[in-house]
Every structure is written in C-alpha cells, then in structure tokens.
Amino acid sequence: VRRPRVEPHLLRALPVLRVGVSHGERLRLGPSAPVQIPEPINLPPEPLPTVVPTTAAPPTSVGPQTPTISPPGAGSPRVAALVPPPKGLDAAPPSIAAAKAAPSTRINPGSPPPPPMQVYDFGQRVQNVVDAHSGNVDIVKVNGQTVARPRHWDYIEYDDYGRPTLFNPLEEAMAFRYFYDGAYREAFVPSGGRIVIDGAAPGLYPFTAVGESHLAAGSFYGGASVPKGTGEGKPPPDYKLPAPPAVYPDVLISVPANNQTVQVGQVEVIGRDEHQVPGSQDTFLLDDSTLAWGQINDPAGSTQIRVTKTQPLPGYGPTDRGDYLVALASRQDLAAQTAPPAKPWWPSVLGYGSLAVALILIFWFMGRRSRSAEDNAGL
C-alpha cells in the first residue's frame, strides 16, 4: 500500500504537528525548526494609586433609623390594665443643686475608668440591695420569683455638646451599667459627684444603677459632638444637638404568653436585635426603666406592639416572657405617689353655712320659748 506523500513545506510550517508522520519521514525531514519566542515588550510601570489618608467621620446628630410605632387602631380595646410608672429617688433639693454644680469628670463610654475600690462586683451589690428589702426598692412576685423593680434615675442633663451628664445627689456612690460599642460597661459616680460622657455614637442606651441601698434604672442617648482637649468652649457653629428619641405615650401592649393586654405610659424604640428570633427583634424601653423585646404591630392591629420578653433591670439579671408587665399591672400600689388634688372650697363653705343657720334657728327658737314663758308668767 502506497502512502500519500506528505509535502515537506507543510511539515516545516507546522513543526510541532508530527503526530501522523512516520519515523522514517521524520528522519528524512530532519529536526524541526526551533520555535521563535518574541522578546518581551518593556512597558513603563503603572503608577501606584494615590493613598488618601482616612479621617474619622465627624459626629452626627442623626441617629440610626428605627421603626416607628403607629397610633392605636380602630379595634383597640378601650380599657386595658395600666402598668404604673416607676417611683423616683428621694434626694434633698440642696443635695441635687450641689451635685449638679459639682466639677465634672470626663469619661469615654467605651472604656470608663475602673471604680476606686479594689473588690467590686456589680451583681453582688444588686443582690445585697434586693435582700435588704429597704424602702428604696420595690419587690414584685413574678411566677413565684422575687423580682426587684428599680426606681427611676432622674438626675441627668445634657451640655452644649449634647453629652449626657450624670450627677449623683445621693449619700452613696452609684455604679451605672450600660451596653456600649459591643460590650457592657460600668461607670462610677461618687456621692455628690458628676460625670460627663463623651457619647458620640447615636442611639438610646438603657442603664441600671446600683449603690449600697439604692437600685435605679434610666437611659441616656448619644450623638454628641466630642470636643478636643479639655472640652472647654463651644461646639462647632454648624453642629446641631442630637434629637432625643421619640417617646410614644400610652402604648397598648399585647403579652402573648399571658394572653393579656396592658398599657404603658411611655415607650421608646431602641432598635433591632438580630440575635433574637423573628417576632422578637424589635427592642423597646418601657417607662424609661424596663427593657423589652418583641415586635411592632401592624397599624390595623388591636394593639400597637407585642412583647415577648422583658428584663426588669436593663443589662443585668433574668428575663421573662412579659410576665413582669402583667405583674406590675396588678400592683397599682407601686405607682408613684402624687399629691392629692385640691379639694373645692364650696363644700366646706356650705357646711359651715348650714351649721351657722342651724345654730341661729336653735337660738331663735330657744329665745322665743323664753319670751313665751315670761309672757305667761305675767298673766
């Protein structure tokens, strides 16, 4: 069998494609031509990107976007058990004025200085106050357990920079526990002292405060303009104070665990907690003292929010399924004592007037009888 002739010029044009060529033809054709590799082209190096130094964003007074609570719907119940607001702390007016004017200690909320005492345990101090059963804390029974209801901390102001200022008019030092920058922190305020918190991060920050015999709760909000140096002087001209969180009054709350509806005097929305299960990721602060988880209801619902978990001491202690709110609603004796309304003046006037008229009639009748007796004796 005669094989077809392979043209040499084709083989030399394709030196690497010799798979179908016999060994004899390879010997006759000789070695293939070397493959020519082109020389690399020297290109100028690309210029390095210009590195712009990053600077911290200026403080903003715009807080994080939080969901809003709608007004009560048309089908809302007209009567609901009212959760009484917490009582305040008792401090003498001169002590309040002195603490408010005391020199301030500036602290970083993310790393406050440790308390001056060497042995200090926040939880143990809370337990000591609860066990003492003093008149500075209220005790509530929740599912057979003893739960402390803190008083409300009213001694807080904001300076020109929008920084929260905590002052302590009590006769004992207080420690404040709050959640800031991903961790729980504790700030110490001595008796008669005052601290200024450089709270630049916007948001609402609930806290629990404890002393030797007092237990309180409250909150402060961030978004301040943090001054440099000693913080003297005024903030920048274009700076606007952070707006306080929205406060929703007389909010109707459903507690599914107890199948109850209660009403709370004021509710603030803290934000979202993605660590919770769906339906419990909205976080609230009730009466500026109770931390709660749940969900904002649809505007057409019968209640405005749903609460699935509460914590009586914000940032510390056990939680429940909302039983704490139901227990508070049944204890109207825990409400803050208010001055009794002034009585109208007219009932007393009418009372004294009626008494005077009665006395006049009695004396007139007695005088008439006396004159009648004298007339009869003269006859």
**Residue 371 counted as domain residue:** no
252 domain-assigned? yes
pLDDT at 7: 54
Q: Is 142 left (phi over 0), alpha (psi -120 to 50) or beta?
A: beta
Distances (CA, A) of 262 to 8, 130, 136, 186: 100, 26, 26, 32
pLDDT of residue 48 exceeding 50: no
Banded pLDDT at 196 (limits 50, 70, 90):
very high
CA dihedral 126→194→200→204, nearest 10 degrees, is 40
State the CB neighbour count (10 A cutoff) for residue 111.
Answer: 11
Least confident interval from 214-223, 318-327, 356-365: 356-365
Residue 329 located in a structural domain:
yes
48 compared with 183, residue with greater pLDDT: 183
pLDDT at residue 116 in the model: 77
Backbone angles phi, psi at 25, to 5 degrees: -65, -35
Kindly report the average pLDDT of the chain as a whole number.
79
pLDDT tens readout for residues 99-143: 999 999 999 999 999 887 655 689 999 999 999 877 888 999 998
Three-state secondary structure of the chain: CCCCCCCHHHHHHCCCCCCCCCHHHHHHHCCCCCCCCCCCCCCCCCCCCCCCCCCCCCCCCCCCCCCCCCCCCCCCCCCCEEECCCCECCCCHHHHHHHHCCCEEEECCCCCCCCCCCCCCHHHHHHHHHHHCCCCCEEEEECCEEEEECEECCCEEECCCCCEEEECCCCCCEEEEEEECCEEEEEEECCCCEEEECCCCCCEEEEEEECCCCEEEEEEECCCCCCCCCCCCCCCCCCCCCCCCCCEEEEEEEECCCCEEEEEEEEEEEEECCCCCCCCCEEEEECCCEEEEEEECCCCCCCCEEEEEEECECCECCCECCHHHHHHHCCHHHCCCCCCCCCCCHHHHHHHHHHHHHHHHHHHHHHHHHHHHHHHHHC
pLDDT at 19 (0 to 100):
46
Domain that holds residue 325: 81-334
Cα separation, 285 vs 270, in Å, equals 7
Kindly give the pairing relationship between strand 81-83 and strand 260-272. parallel
Is 25 among the domain residues? no
Using alpha carbons, select from 85, 137, 65, 110 the residue that is nearest to residue 290: 85
Domain count, the chain: 1
Question: Tokens 């978004």 identify what position?
Answer: 223
Nearest-5° Cα angle at 55, 51 to 61: 145
Residue 151 domain-assigned? yes
Tokens encoding 241: 């104070």
Q: For position 91, what pLDDT does the model report?
A: 96
Task: With a cut of 80, say whether residue 152 has pLDDT above it.
Answer: yes
Q: How many whole angstroms separate alpha carbon 20 and alpha carbon 67?
A: 76
CB atoms within 10 A of CB 61: 15
pTM of the model: 0.71
- Look at residues 28, 22, 16 and name the one whose alpha carbon lies nearest to residue 2: 22
Is residue 374 a part of any domain in this protein?
A: no
User: Residues 149, 74: contact at Cβ < 8 Å?
Assistant: no
What backbone torsions phi and psi does residue 375 show, to the nearest 5 degrees?
-65, -40
User: What pLDDT, on a 0 to 100 scale, did the predictor assign at position 358?
Assistant: 58
CA angle 6, 9, 13 (to 5 degrees): 110
360 belongs to a structural domain: no
pLDDT band of residue 76 (cuts 50, 70, 90) is confident
> CB under 8 Å to 133, separation ≥6 — which residues?
139
In a domain? residue 345: no
Q: Which of 41-45, 101-105, 264-268 has the lowest mean pLDDT?
A: 41-45
How far apart (Å, rounded) are the C-alpha atoms in residues 344 and 68?
43
